[in-house]
Amino acid sequence: MATILYSLSGEGRGHCTRVRAVVERLRERHRVVLFAPGQAYEPLQKAFARSEVAVRHLRGLRFRYGASGVLAPLATASGALAYLRKMPGTLAYLDAHLRRERPDLCITDFEPALPRAARRLGIPFVSLDHQHFLTVNDLSSLPPRLRAAAWGMSLVVRAYYTGQAATVVSSFCAPPLRPGLRNVHQVGPLLRPELRRSLPRREGFLLVYLRRGGMEGVLAALRRLGLEARVYGAGERPPEGRLTFHPIGESGFLADLASCEALVTTAGNQVVGESLFLGKPVLALPEPGNFEQAINAHFLRLGGAGDWADPRRLTPGSVEAFLNALPLYRDRIGLEARDGTQAAVDLIERQLAREPVSSPSRETPRPDGPVPA
């Protein structure tokens, strides 16, 4: 049994979900200590409260949003500077844990402090996230504007940390890897056990997941269509026609994801991957100003398992066009419906065994998920 210290970004549901999926497998054989900032701390503490997995709070970076729900770059950058000023204290906190725990390996899901602390003490670490697709994948198929944004964001990703023993990228899509890479591996979405156990079915309603404010135009388009839609992330409020509003909670959302016709959602990698695994087409609504989500939306459309629209310009007609194409999207989901969890865990085990895995690898897409008839 090895000891593993695992840190993650506290911004966004995807990091927390990925880490849960991996830790559920790792804790069967190893001792795991999690370091969770921000929004990730409470759900992970709750998930592992009755287990041997320890969850520690960690200072983290945060995105800042304006009143309209648009990403605020200057406020985000100001918060990042404040975080960096406190980095020495964060590293001292992690140093104490590393010296006490003496881990065999560290893992990070796009969190910059633990890798730095691990490097200072000579402890190997693995990068396991989605964001490194910006540095390891060939993104030449992107339109010029997004290609330029991807290049700029790749500089930020590289600045987070360097020196990892291996880079594992989890993604619902699989663009080619750049040539000449070492210790780089690409796997499918990392899926929680309860999602894998879900039985997909179609009960005639649309599922909507809105992560931030500023989505009233989306709700207005859905109201005009008169479709039954279950909305998460817009806050609890009385029903509006056939729109019902639900608190964000894993069990309710997963049950509705398994039984909906399709998903309308922000374009996060994790939620898109979960939806495709269950055979549900996706209409992605990238958050304004979030270029990572815009890139995800591009590859969703390119793969043919769904489409995307600007949430500020969503019309009833664009939703109707998406719904009319659902049979075509369902036929194209097969290659995307894969679970990368076991492949990721296998790569971690090989790192623990110090087995050399130098050549790039890419998990072969396979329809091994419960795609409905």
In tens, the pLDDT along 350-366 reads: 999 986 544 455 554 33
Size of the chain in residues: 373
Q: Are 177 and 184 in contact, with CB atoms under 8 Å apart?
A: yes
**H helices of the chain, where?**
13-26, 38-47, 73-85, 87-101, 113-120, 133-136, 144-160, 193-196, 216-225, 250-259, 269-277, 291-303, 316-324, 326-332, 341-352
Structural domains in the chain?
3-193+338-362 (3.40.50.2000), 194-336 (3.40.50.2000)
pLDDT tens string 188-239: 999 988 999 999 999 999 999 987 656 788 999 999 998 899 999 888 889 9
State both tokens at 146.
């997004």
- pTM value? 0.87
**CA dihedral of 41, 131, 299, 371, whole degrees rounded to 10:** -50
> Residue 298: left if φ>0, alpha if ψ -120 to 50, beta else—which one?
alpha
Please name the residue that has the structure tokens 């060939």: 138
What local confidence, expressed as pLDDT, does residue 59 receive? 87
Nearest residue to 346 (alpha-carbon basis) of 54, 18, 22: 22
All residue ranges of the chain with pLDDT < 50 are: 336, 357-359, 364-373
pLDDT tens string 149-175: 999 999 999 999 999 999 999 999 989
What local confidence, expressed as pLDDT, does residue 354 receive? 81
Alpha carbon 264 to its chain centroid, in Å, reads 16
What local confidence, expressed as pLDDT, does residue 164 receive? 96
What local confidence, expressed as pLDDT, does residue 362 receive? 55
pLDDT tens string 125-138: 999 999 999 999 99
How many other C-beta atoms can be found within 10 angstroms of the C-beta atom of residue 308?
Answer: 22
Alpha carbon 102 to its chain centroid, in Å, reads 29
What local confidence, expressed as pLDDT, does residue 73 receive? 61
What local confidence, expressed as pLDDT, does residue 369 receive? 42
